[in-house]
């Protein structure tokens, strides 16, 4: 029998020991990477051992239970936002400035408010218009806003949106370098939990049309709205997008988002 045959023989204790050590190391590494690590992240959406292995292997798990979009008397928003749907000419801005005089008590003389109401200065016109329409239709519930929007015409709401979009914001949009310093949940999200990055909808160094700009919004207002999406009391997000995202987020991630945008 040759030396090589003796080396790779099951009768060779060194060969058997080496194979066992390598197999044991691989098994421990697999258990740590595919089982222990997913559970250690405290992800309550993991549905068992097989789900944990799939997550670790890169297969996204199921999202949280979809938001109940169609139940009850009030449904999701029916406003479809498209680019340049609001004319921001000077006549429209001027009419909006007159209409906005009734809004100053809560939203400030120049669209900059306090802790409980959103800043509207420099906000996307399409976003302001959508929220006004939703308040009027009842898709977004507010005992304060409802009487103020009840008698507004569609043109009134467009003029108000044009006016607030025309006002300057206190802080310019973040540069690409500044955006890269944002929290992970803001710039990357959590793909394994089906959470897109905040900037994909709300913009960062670029401008998005369909969703509001969040830079500089009061921390208390942001936290209140995220909580409302999470518990379903706010439901004017089309197809439940925000509700499904926020329900996946941890309290620490929500705090990171609020702190980042409120300090911008």
Most confident by average pLDDT, 48-52, 95-99, 116-120: 95-99
The H-assigned helical ranges of 145-233 are 145-149, 154-166, 176-180, 184-187, 199-202, 219-231
> What pLDDT shows up at residue 184?
95
- Residue spans in the chain of domains classed CATH 1.10.760.10: 90-166, 176-262
Calpha distance 131→127 (Å, rounded): 6
Looking at the predicted structure, is the pLDDT value of residue 95 above 80?
yes
Which CATH superfamily is 176-262 part of?
A: Cytochrome c-like domain (1.10.760.10)
CB 63 within 8 A of CB 244: yes
Rounded to an integer, the average pLDDT of 235-251 is 93
3-class SS at 20? helix
> What pLDDT shows up at residue 5?
53
| pLDDT tens column, 246-264 | 999 999 999 999 999 999 8
Q: Please give the C-alpha separations between residue 236 and each of 71, 79, 170, 227, in angstroms, as whole numbers.
A: 13, 9, 28, 14
| pLDDT tens column, 153-211 | 999 999 999 999 999 987 777 777 888 889 999 999 999 999 999 999 888 766 666 68
Calpha distance 195→13 (Å, rounded): 51
Q: Kindly state the tokens that stand for 58.
A: 């890169």
Fold of the CATH domain 90-166: Cytochrome Bc1 Complex; Chain D, domain 2 (1.10.760)
Residues in the chain: 264
| pLDDT tens column, 6-24 | 666 667 777 777 878 888 8
| pLDDT tens column, 66-90 | 555 444 555 677 787 777 788 888 9
> What pLDDT shows up at residue 85?
81
CB 52 within 8 A of CB 35: yes
| Beta-carbon-side half-sphere exposure of residue 175 (alpha carbons within 13 Å) | 2
> What pLDDT shows up at residue 17?
78
């Amino acid at each position: 029998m040759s030396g090589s045959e003796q080396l790779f023989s099951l009768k060779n204790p060194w060969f058997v020991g080496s194979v066992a050590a390598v197999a044991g190391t691989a098994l421990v590494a697999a258990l740590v990477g595919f089982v222990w690590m997913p559970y250690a992240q405290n992800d309550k959406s993991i549905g068992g051992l097989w789900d944990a292995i799939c997550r670790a292997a890169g297969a996204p798990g199921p999202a949280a239970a979809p938001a109940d979009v169609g139940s009850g008397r009030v449904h999701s928003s029916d406003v479809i936002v498209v680019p340049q749907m609001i004319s921001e000419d000077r006549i429209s801005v001027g009419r909006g400035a007159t209409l906005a005089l009734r809004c100053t008590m809560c939203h400030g003389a120049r669209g900059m408010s306090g802790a409980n109401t959103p800043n509207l200065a420099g906000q996307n016109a399409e976003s302001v218009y959508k929220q006004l329409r939703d308040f009027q239709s009842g898709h977004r519930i507010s005992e304060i806003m409802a009487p103020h929007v009840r008698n507004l015409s569609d043109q009134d709401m467009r003029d108000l949106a044009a006016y607030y979009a025309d006002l300057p914001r206190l802080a310019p949009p973040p540069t690409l370098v500044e955006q890269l310093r944002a929290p992970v949940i803001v710039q990357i999200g959590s793909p394994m939990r089906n959470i897109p990055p905040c900037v994909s909808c709300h913009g960062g160094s670029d401008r998005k049309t369909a969703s509001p700009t969040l830079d500089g919004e009061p921390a208390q207002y942001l936290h209140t709205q995220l909580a409302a999406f999470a518990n379903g009391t706010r439901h004017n997000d089309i197809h439940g997008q925000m509700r499904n995202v926020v329900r996946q987020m941890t309290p620490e991630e929500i705090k990171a988002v609020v702190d980042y945008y409120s300090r911008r």
